[in-house]
Amino acid sequence: MNNKKTYAFVVIILITLSLGLGSFDPKIHAASTTEPILESLVAEGLEDFQGINFPNHTMITVEYSVDRLVGISGVVIVGSGSNLSLTPETSLALNFSDSQVDRSYYKGTFELTSLTTFKGYSWIGEINNGTYEVLENFNHLGPWHYLYVTEEGTPPAFYNIGNATVTQNSFIYYTPSNQTNNTVVIRYEIYGGTENDTVTLALSKYRDPITDVSLGIFNGDVTFIEMDWQEGNITTTSVIFNTTFEFTDRTIFFSANNSYGWDMWGGINEVRTQLNVYMINNGFYFESDTLQEGKITDLDDLEFNITTYNSTDLEKYGIRYFVTQGLDNDTEIIPFTEVEATLNRNYTVENENGYNNTIREYFVSIGSFSKGNILHYEAYNLYYDAFYNETGGIMKLLYIYDSVPEINLYPVNNTYTNDYNVTFYYEIDASRGSLYSVEMDFDDGTPITDIMDVDTNTSVHYYPQVTGEYNATLFVTINITRVNDAPVLVNTSISTIIYLDFENPTLEITSHTLNDTAIIDGYVEFYFDYADAYAGIERVWIFWDNGVVQNVTDDHFAFHNYVEDGNYTVTIMVKDRAGNQFNSTIMFNVELEVETPTSTTPYASLSFLFSLLVAGYALNKKNKTNRK
């Protein structure tokens, strides 16, 4: 392709691209997110106010944002009260404020004149082609934002609790239920209210029923108490209502309402739309532990103590568990099983807050399991027909150990010795129980002997000096005391064979270099034979008498080169496995012959140099001939 054709082709491509890009509308390809989002709500003169109750005629400014790339045609707020309308065409239109990155902002102001509900609405093109603000259906309200006029009446707001301590969570209070004075006082405040208002406190042992009744779903788990007028506050134009009741449960949940609604919650400067539910607890928790100390064995009936803090008389406790085969096999051999416990002790102790904690201890036994099994367990609690796991949330594990102790005996099996004075040492690793007896049968005709020594675990025995095999046996008995049961004696034993050998091995040198003649080359050799009738040979050495030691175990021939003149006494040492040793020696006289060195004449060196010169000349001439 020539240059002119190339240029024309490029121009055509550029024109085509410019036409395509000029007709591209990014709004068409943007994500179709049309729902408006409430960014802020500010009450004139009450910018830092965190409530939902405002004086009549307060100017309320709301700001919404929408997706900037969608191409929203407009934003309104629809609702009821304060001259708002449920129809988008006649409701309050918001004015465009500004755009930042991917959001556009719209603001509008209205005068609060009555109980008001509202939410945002935006559209593209025709106003009926729009989308409402997405709001969850909260616990007790429809999907709207709510604002109250103080002069008309507002929902109650939690004020404080008497005779209870707030925890790290501002919605949870603590007071034991077992004190002499269990009276708890709950107070609520109503802005713009009067002493003739009706405020109702809802109480339940569970949280969910409180939420249910706020939605109009009633059941028998909620108690309603009409609260009493306590006092009025002229400064805030509010009134306080209270209720006093005896706190006898381990946990109680509560909230309050009047004809304007329930106590609600939201963030700072946010419209409050979620139900407030508070809790009072008495510090209740419970835990379990085994009664046995140390390791649990296959002989133990597993027994537990369940300790509860500030529980009630109506509750039930027990242990739930399952069992797996072992560490290398997690096959479940016993499925989940529940065993109810019985009350064993009941007492009180003072805690760090100065309150008396009621302590109840329950006892339960679940039987024994095989060695190597793994028990997975936790305590459980039944409270008003509801099931609760042990405080902490995870199951505990127990490994079932062998009730038979593990023992070791030294010297180890198949030990050879030539010492009739033998020291025995034993090790005992018992999973449970105490050492009852340690006895030894030395297998030499002496009676079985008590050798228990808790300080050294050793015993010294004198055997007869007779070569032979002795099968020494250690007998160990452990006393395992089980809770509420008779002690059990567990026996085990271990043997070790001791070979006593008091006879030396034999050694014979069959042939060797003659030592009656001077050895002129330094080379010597010899043949030998050895044996042991009982224990067997452990090692054979040759000491060549010049600092060299040679291991010739399993060999019957050896040689050596001496490099210096002299008389050498060579020792062959044979040792059996019992420690018996036999030595034999032979002597060699080494007289090394000195050779006369060969001398060279000066002519020999000159002849060598002349040969090199001749060879160089011939090589050079050959190279010249080849170049021609």
pLDDT tens digits for 223-276? 999 999 998 876 667 899 999 988 988 899 999 999 888 888 755 445 556 789
pTM of this prediction exceeds 0.85:
no
> For residues 272 and 260, what is the distance between their CA atoms, to the nearest angstrom?
14
Residue 354 pLDDT > 90: no
pLDDT of residue 154: 81
Cβ count near 255 (within 10 Å): 26
Nearest Cα to Cα of residue 311 among 390, 249, 221, 354: 249
Examine residue 411 and say whether the peptide bond preceding it is cis (omega within 30 degrees of 0): yes
Nearest Cα to Cα of residue 81 among 106, 54, 63, 105: 54
Nearest Cα to Cα of residue 459 among 469, 470, 446, 450: 450
Give residue for tokens 């009493």.
228
> For residues 239 and 560, what is the distance between their CA atoms, to the nearest angstrom?
117
Residue 395 in tokens: 């199951």
Residue 313 in tokens: 């008389």
Residue 127 pLDDT > 70: yes
Cβ count near 290 (within 10 Å): 17
CB 227 within 8 A of CB 158: no
Residue 619 in tokens: 């090589």
Question: Do the domain assignments include residue 21?
Answer: no
Question: Do the domain assignments include residue 193?
Answer: yes
Residue 518 in tokens: 């001077």
Residue bearing the bigger pLDDT, 156 or 432: 156
Which of 256, 278, 300 corresponds to the end of one domain?
A: 278
Q: What is the mean pLDDT of residues 31-41?
A: 80
Which of 127, 149, 171 corresponds to the end of one domain?
A: 149
Asked if 34 and 128 sit in the same domain, the reply is yes
The proportion of the chain whose per-residue pLDDT surpasses 70, expressed as a percent, equals: 84
pLDDT band at 443 (very low <50, low <70, confident <90, very high): very high
Most confident of 15-19, 136-140, 175-179, 220-224: 220-224
Give residue for tokens 């095999």.
469
CB 576 within 8 A of CB 538: yes
Looking up residue 266, the CATH number of its domain turns out to be: 2.60.40
Residue 12 pLDDT > 80: no
> For residues 599 and 594, what is the distance between their CA atoms, to the nearest angstrom?
16
Asked if 162 and 270 sit in the same domain, the reply is yes
Question: Do the domain assignments include residue 75?
Answer: yes
In the beta sheet, which residues pair with residue 410? Answer: 425
Q: Collapsing DSSP states into helix, strand and coil, what is residue 78?
A: strand
Nearest Cα to Cα of residue 69 among 98, 37, 103: 103
Which of 343, 369, 401 corresponds to the end of one domain?
A: 401
Question: Do the domain assignments include residue 510?
Answer: yes
Give how far Cα 325 sits from Cα of 27, 81, 403, Å.
65, 69, 17
> For residues 52 and 241, what is the distance between their CA atoms, to the nearest angstrom?
19
pLDDT of residue 372: 95
> For residues 533 and 553, what is the distance between their CA atoms, to the nearest angstrom?
17
pLDDT of residue 418: 93
Asked if 118 and 198 sit in the same domain, the reply is no
Cβ count near 503 (within 10 Å): 15
Residue 617 pLDDT > 90: no
Asked if 432 and 455 sit in the same domain, the reply is yes
Asked if 464 and 512 sit in the same domain, the reply is no
Q: Collapsing DSSP states into helix, strand and coil, what is residue 338?
A: strand
Q: What is the mean pLDDT of residues 412-434?
A: 92
Residue 622 pLDDT > 80: no
Question: Do the domain assignments include residue 619?
Answer: no
Asked if 161 and 274 sit in the same domain, the reply is yes
Structural domains counted in the chain: 5
pLDDT tens digits for 529-563? 999 988 899 999 999 999 999 999 999 999 999 99
Asked if 307 and 346 sit in the same domain, the reply is yes
DSSP letter at 482 equals P
Cβ count near 211 (within 10 Å): 19
Looking up residue 109, the CATH number of its domain turns out to be: 2.60.40.10
Longest dimension (CA), the chain: 147
- Of 38-52, 194-208, 443-457, 509-523, the least confident: 38-52
The chain-wide mean pLDDT, for the chain, equals 84
Question: Do the domain assignments include residue 597?
Answer: no
Q: Can you give the residue range of the structural domain that contains 556? A: 506-590
Q: What is the mean pLDDT of residues 43-52?
A: 71
Asked if 477 and 520 sit in the same domain, the reply is no
Asked if 346 and 376 sit in the same domain, the reply is yes
CB 199 within 8 A of CB 186: no
Asked if 170 and 190 sit in the same domain, the reply is yes
- Phi then psi dihedrals of residue 421, to 5 deg: -95, 100
pLDDT of residue 135: 78
Asked if 514 and 469 sit in the same domain, the reply is no
Q: Collapsing DSSP states into helix, strand and coil, what is residue 484?
A: coil
C-alpha radius of gyration, the chain, whole number: 51
Nearest Cα to Cα of residue 462 among 499, 426, 501, 423: 423
Residue 515 pLDDT > 70: no
pLDDT band at 36 (very low <50, low <70, confident <90, very high): very high
Per 3-state DSSP, what percentage of the chain is helix, strand, and coil (rounded to 5)?
10, 50, 40
Which residues contact residue 519 at a Cβ distance below 8 angstroms, ignoring those fewer than 6 apart? 513, 562, 588, 589, 590, 591
Nearest Cα to Cα of residue 68 among 30, 94, 102: 102
pLDDT of residue 62: 93
Residue 612 pLDDT > 70: no
3 state SS for 126-188? CCCCEEECCCCCCCCCCCCEEEEECCCCCCCEEEEEECCEECCCCCEEECCCCCCCCEEEEEE
For the chain, give the number of residues: 628
Asked if 518 and 492 sit in the same domain, the reply is no
Cβ count near 160 (within 10 Å): 14
Q: What is the mean pLDDT of residues 452-480?
A: 93
Residue 6 pLDDT > 60: no
Which residues contact residue 31 at a Cβ distance below 8 angstroms, ignoring those fewer than 6 apart? 67, 69, 70
Most confident of 228-242, 301-315, 333-347, 592-606: 333-347
Which residues contact residue 124 at a Cβ distance below 8 angstroms, ignoring those fewer than 6 apart? 34, 70, 71, 72, 73, 130
Q: What is the mean pLDDT of residues 54-71?
A: 90
First to last CA, the chain: 60
Residue 8 pLDDT > 90: no
DSSP letter at 519 equals B
pLDDT of residue 48: 66
CB 115 within 8 A of CB 81: yes
Question: Do the domain assignments include residue 188?
Answer: yes
> For residues 546 and 471, what is the distance between their CA atoms, to the nearest angstrom?
45
Question: Do the domain assignments include residue 15?
Answer: no
pLDDT of residue 29: 32
pLDDT of residue 4: 45
pLDDT band at 382 (very low <50, low <70, confident <90, very high): very high
pLDDT of residue 593: 85
pLDDT band at 380 (very low <50, low <70, confident <90, very high): very high
Residue 294 pLDDT > 60: yes
pLDDT tens digits for 403-414? 999 999 999 999
DSSP letter at 40 equals E
Residue 455 in tokens: 């300080």
CB 576 within 8 A of CB 548: no
CB 103 within 8 A of CB 68: yes
